[in-house]
């Protein structure tokens, strides 16, 4: 018969197990109690056999234990147990002091050492060193104190007698040596003053940010070396061998035949020279002068002032000034180049739309348009290099920019490219030209570190960043992660944290701007770029760009829809070619167009149109008019004439904040140079349909 499912049987089994556990627990407790009793017994024997008088009191101050040494010391037997320990004290102040110690011991649960005087039963007093220990119960509450007393009465008596005898001897010596002490006092004061003066001088010399040494005239002896110079010299060079620091001084004209020149005026001459020390790798201004040392001999005083940081700051200032000048030049070149490209790209795109797709020249026009589009990346680099360069954002598909930039950058190189992109990548809101520049710089960097060939693996995936992820300084959310992984020589761990610093480069002809520029652009896009050493060889640059929920608009191709009703457009640009091409594009799109070369003539035509009740539907304004009124000022005046005016800012020079946030300046849209037919059509259709 099976009892496996019988509840009564199961309960009996459970009770038996609980009884067994309880029995084991009880046996453990009995064993611990026995050990505790053994420890207490050992402690009790130690206290009873101790030569020190040991007693304990409870919280009320009543004596609770009294060892045999207490009887022999205080002459009270165990009948004193239950009495207050105040019986042993005659001094009320001493009792008050002990009470404060006991009260503090209850709070801190720490022991105290006290010097106490006890009164024996016979009236005799005994001097004791008392060590007072708090006693805690099982709940950790202090319920009493133990007084362990060492009798020091005899020792203190002997000490007092010795003190009296010593005092007597001192009086005898003092009486017989008054004059000697006065002389010693005078000498001591003089020595102290001299020592204080020397210490003050050394302290001043050591605290100065100067390397100072004093050497013999023949440089065969180092007489003084301050802490600053001592710290500069490596171990083993604190001898006559370390004169390399001051070797460039060439001050031998201060010395003749190993002696200082007799002319006192010449001895006050200070020789100075600036030099670079190849051992310490620092720049110094070195100074030397012949002086008279404390022992009255002539010596060389040599001082080295570290000017390394000063020279670095000066060189950095010169570099920044050059870069600023180059930046201004780059911005001007980019502006003019963009104007040229606008005329070329606009004309080519217009010809492309006018030619049928089956036309034999259509393919040539398409190639010309694409080649000219690549040329715009050069102007974008110039603009980012110059001041400004804030991103002009739009929703874009990363894969198109990435593939085109990498392929174009590595054309004709020995580097093999492997591009792997997710099929459904998130879109990003970014400046396509600046992103293209980032990808271009990373691809060029890979080509430069692998001149004899290698592999550059480029990948792009969707990535969701969470708080516990390994990437620091990145807000949680969705990103597009782009990796550039090469098989080059890699980067030394000593410099991997510096490669994004401006002007830092490991290449002989590098300027240290490519990676710094990539870092700046990614940061302006609220993204992050990192670099890590690959396990085998090479490095991986990783870019995180915030994803955008909006859908990127596909570029317009083929026939462009003409507006349902023709509109009137007023175009301002100082470049005649752009005015002509812009007018041709707008006429092709079905608009009526007037042009102006500067702000004054545009305002006059706009005022005339308003007066004739024939207002323009759209005004396109070039932001930069050399020597004249630019688009920003014209927009303000147009807004005063007609607050409902629809204005388009046009520029290829992105240092103006208008290109990044046109609405804050009264513009309805931007038209970035260089532009083509489809871009003009798209912008006009958007604002006219509002």
What does the pLDDT look like over 139-165, one tens digit per residue? Answer: 878 888 889 888 888 888 999 999 999
Q: 623 and 646 in contact (C-beta within 8 Å)?
A: no
Q: What is the mean pLDDT of residues 348-363?
A: 72
> Which has more pLDDT, 387 or 298?
298
Residue 461 has pLDDT above 80, yes or no: yes
Kind plus residue range of the DSSP H or E element containing 304 = strand 298-306
pLDDT for 237 beyond 60: no
CA–CA dist 650, 656 (Å, integer)? 11
Q: How far is CA 586 from CA 91, 156, 590, 668, in A?
A: 114, 115, 6, 18
- pLDDT of 36 over the 50 cut: yes
C-alpha span between 35 and 25 (Å, rounded): 15
Going by pLDDT thresholds of 50, 70 and 90, the confidence category of residue 635 is very high
pLDDT band at 359 (very low <50, low <70, confident <90, very high): confident
CATH topology of domain 398-551: Heat Shock Protein 90 (3.30.565)
Q: Two tokens at 440?
A: 């271009």
Mutual angle of helices 432-449 and 514-524, in 10-degree steps: 150
- Fold match flag (50-156 vs 208-306): yes
3-class SS letters over 432-445: HHHHHHHHHHHHHH
Is the pLDDT reported for residue 266 higher than 50?
no
Token couple for 212: 């100072």
Q: What is the CA radius of gyration of the chain?
A: 47
Predicted confidence (pLDDT) at residue 244 exceeds the cutoff of 50: yes
Cα distances (Å, whole numbers) of residue 363 to 187, 368, 404, 548, 674: 107, 9, 19, 34, 21
CATH architecture of 50-156: 2-Layer Sandwich (3.30)
DSSP state for residue 652 in the 8-state scheme: S
**Contact criterion met (CB below 8 Å) for 80 and 87:** yes
**97-109 average pLDDT score:** 78
pLDDT tens-digit profile of 485-506?
Answer: 999 888 877 777 677 766 555 5
Helices (H) and strands (E) in the chain, counts: 16, 24
More confident residue, 377 or 635: 635
* Tokens describing residue 474: 């990145």
Separation of alpha carbons 680 and 44, rounded Å: 104
426 alpha carbon, distance to own chain's centre = 32
Average pLDDT over residues 453-475: 82
Task: Look at residue 412 in the predicted model and tell me its pLDDT.
Answer: 80
Most confident stretch, 118-122, 385-389, 593-597? 593-597
CATH for 568-688, options being 3.40.50.2300, 3.30.420.40, 3.30.300.30, 3.40.50.300:
3.40.50.2300
Provide CB contacts within 8 A for 648, sequence distance 6+. 618, 619, 620, 621, 667, 668, 669, 670, 671, 683, 684, 687
Q: Where is pLDDT greater, at 652 or 124?
A: 124
Q: Which helix (H) or strand (E) holds 59?
A: none
Q: How far is CA 521 from CA 104, 326, 527, in A?
A: 66, 19, 9
pLDDT at 301: 86
Indicate the angle between helix axes 599-611 and 631-641, nearest 10 degrees: 20
Band the pLDDT of 507: cuts 50, 70, 90.
low
- The predicted structure's pLDDT at residue 536: 82
In order, the DSSP letters of 139-185 are: TS-EEEEEEEEEE-HHHHHHHHHHHHHHHHHHHHHHHH-HHHHHHHH
Is the pLDDT score of 340 beyond 80?
Answer: no
Q: In whole angstroms, give the CA distance from residue 495 to residue 575.
A: 48
What pLDDT is attached to residue 240? 38
Q: What CA–CA distances, in Å, run from 304 to 238, 293, 435?
A: 16, 19, 50
User: 545 vs 252, which has greater pLDDT?
Assistant: 545
Phi-psi region of 258 (alpha: psi -120 to 50; beta: other; left: phi over 0): left
Contact status, residue 688 vs residue 648, Cβ threshold 8 Å? no
DSSP-derived secondary structure for 541-571:
EEEEEEEESSPPPPPP-SPPPPPSS--EEEE
Q: Is the pLDDT of residue 362 over 50?
A: yes
Whether the predicted pLDDT of 193 surpasses 70? yes
The predicted-structure confidence for 525-549, as pLDDT tens digits, reads as follows 899 999 888 888 889 999 999 998 8
Pairing of strands 539-548, 427-430: antiparallel
Cα–Cα distance, 111 to 147 (Å, whole number): 10
Q: How far apart are CA 633 and CA 635, in angstroms?
A: 5
> How many residues in total does the chain contain?
690
Does the structure show a pLDDT above 70 at 272?
yes
CA 502/CA 102 separation, integer angstroms: 69
Beta-bridge mates of residue 417: 456
* 308 pLDDT higher than 70: yes
Q: pLDDT value at position 360? A: 72
Write the pLDDT tens digit of every residue in 369-428. 776 776 666 666 666 655 445 677 888 899 989 998 898 888 888 899 999 998 889 999
More confident residue, 23 or 655: 23
pLDDT at 202 over 90: no
Position with higher pLDDT, 247 vs 648 = 648
How much is the pLDDT for 638? 93
> Which stretches within 627-690 are classed as H helix?
631-641, 677-688
CB neighbours of residue 63 within 10 Å: 21
Nearest in space to 407 (alpha carbons), one of 456, 365, 449, 372: 456
Domain borders along the chain are 50-156, 208-306, 398-551, 568-688
Q: 208-306: which CATH number, 3.30.450.20, 3.40.50.620, 3.40.50.300, 3.30.70.1230?
A: 3.30.450.20
Q: Which of 86, 136, 61 is nearest to 106 (CA)?
A: 136
User: Are residues 477 and 349 in contact, defined by beta-carbon separation less than 8 angstroms?
Assistant: no
Which of the pair, 219 or 298, is modelled with greater confidence? Answer: 298
Which strands, in side-by-side order, build the sheet including 210-216? Answer: 222-225, 210-216, 298-306, 282-292, 271-277
User: E-assigned strands of 10-124?
Assistant: 53-58, 63-66, 112-119
* CA–CA distance, 427 with 480 (Å, rounded to integer): 8
Least confident stretch, 325-329, 378-382, 467-471, 506-510: 506-510
pLDDT of the residue at 238: 46
Instruction: Return the higher-pLDDT residue of 254 and 220.
Output: 220
């Amino acid at each position: 018969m099976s009892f496996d499912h019988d509840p009564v049987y199961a309960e009996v089994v459970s009770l038996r197990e609980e009884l067994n556990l309880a029995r084991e627990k009880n046996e453990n407790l009995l064993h611990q109690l026995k050990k505790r009793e053994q420890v207490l017994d050992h402690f009790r024997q130690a206290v009873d056999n101790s030569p020190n008088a040991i007693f304990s009191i409870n919280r009320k101050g009543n004596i609770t234990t009294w060892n045999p040494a207490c009887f022999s010391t205080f002459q009270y037997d165990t009948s004193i147990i239950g009495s207050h320990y105040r019986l042993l004290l005659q001094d009320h102040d001493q009792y008050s002091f002990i009470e404060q110690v006991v009260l503090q011991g209850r709070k801190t649960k720490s022991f105290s050492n006290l010097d106490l005087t006890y009164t024996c039963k016979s009236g005799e007093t005994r001097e004791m060193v008392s060590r007072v220990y708090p006693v805690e119960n099982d709940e950790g509450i202090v319920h009493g104190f133990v007084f362990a007393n060492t009798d020091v009465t005899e020792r203190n008596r002997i000490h007092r007698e010795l003190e009296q005898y010593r005092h007597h001897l001192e009086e005898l010596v003092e009486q017989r040596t008054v004059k000697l002490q006065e002389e010693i006092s005078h000498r001591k004061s003089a020595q102290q003053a001299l020592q204080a003066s020397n210490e003050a001088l050394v302290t001043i010399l050591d605290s100065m940010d100067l390397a100072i040494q004093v050497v013999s005239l023949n440089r065969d002896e180092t007489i003084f070396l301050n802490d600053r110079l001592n710290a500069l010299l490596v171990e083993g060079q604190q001898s006559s061998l370390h004169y390399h620091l001051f070797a460039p001084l060439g001050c031998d004209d201060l010395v003749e035949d190993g002696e200082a020149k007799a002319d006192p005026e010449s001895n006050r001459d200070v020789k100075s020279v600036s030099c670079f020390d190849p051992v310490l790798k620092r720049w110094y201004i070195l100074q030397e002068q012949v002086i008279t040392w404390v022992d009255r001999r002539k010596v060389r005083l040599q001082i080295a002032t570290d000017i390394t940081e000063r020279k670095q700051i000066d060189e950095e200032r010169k570099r920044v000034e050059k870069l600023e000048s180059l930046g201004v030049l780059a911005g001007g070149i980019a502006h003019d180049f963009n104007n040229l490209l606008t005329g070329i790209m606009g004309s080519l795109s217009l010809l492309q739309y006018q030619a049928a797709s089956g036309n034999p020249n259509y393919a040539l026009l398409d190639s010309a348009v694409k080649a000219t589009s690549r040329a715009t990346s050069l102007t974008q680099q110039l603009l980012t290099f110059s001041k400004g360069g804030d991103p002009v954002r739009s929703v874009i598909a990363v894969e198109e920019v990435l593939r085109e930039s990498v392929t174009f950058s590595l054309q004709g190189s020995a580097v093999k490219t492997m591009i792997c992109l997710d099929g459904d990548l998130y879109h990003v809101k970014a400046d396509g030209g600046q992103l293209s520049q980032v990808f271009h710089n990373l691809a060029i960097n890979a080509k430069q570190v692998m001149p004899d060939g290698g592999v550059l693996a480029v990948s792009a995936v969707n990535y969701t960043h969470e708080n516990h992820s390994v990437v620091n300084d990145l807000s949680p959310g969705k990103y597009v992660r782009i990796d550039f992984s090469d098989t080059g020589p890699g980067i030394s761990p000593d410099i991997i944290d510096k490669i994004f610093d401006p002007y830092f480069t490991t290449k002989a002809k590098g300027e240290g701007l490519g990676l710094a520029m990539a870092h700046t652009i990614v940061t302006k896009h609220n993204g992050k770029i990192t670099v890590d050493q690959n396990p085998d060889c090479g490095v991986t640059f990783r870019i995180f760009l915030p994803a955008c929920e909006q859908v990127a608009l596909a570029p317009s191709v083929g026939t462009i829809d003409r507006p349902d009703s023709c509109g009137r457009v007023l175009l301002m640009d100082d470049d005649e070619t752009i005015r002509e091409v812009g007018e041709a594009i707008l006429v092709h799109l079905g608009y009526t167009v007037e042009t102006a070369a500067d702000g004054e003539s545009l305002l006059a035509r706009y005022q005339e149109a308003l007066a004739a009740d024939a207002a323009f539907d759209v005004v396109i304004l070039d932001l930069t008019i050399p020597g004249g009124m630019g688009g920003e000022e014209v927009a303000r005046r147009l807004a005063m004439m007609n607050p409902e005016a629809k204005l388009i800012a046009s520029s290829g020079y992105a240092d103006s904040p208008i290109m990044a946030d046109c609405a804050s300046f009264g513009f309805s849209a931007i038209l970035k140079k260089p532009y083509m037919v489809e871009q003009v059509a798209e912008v006009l259709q958007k604002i006219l349909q509002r």
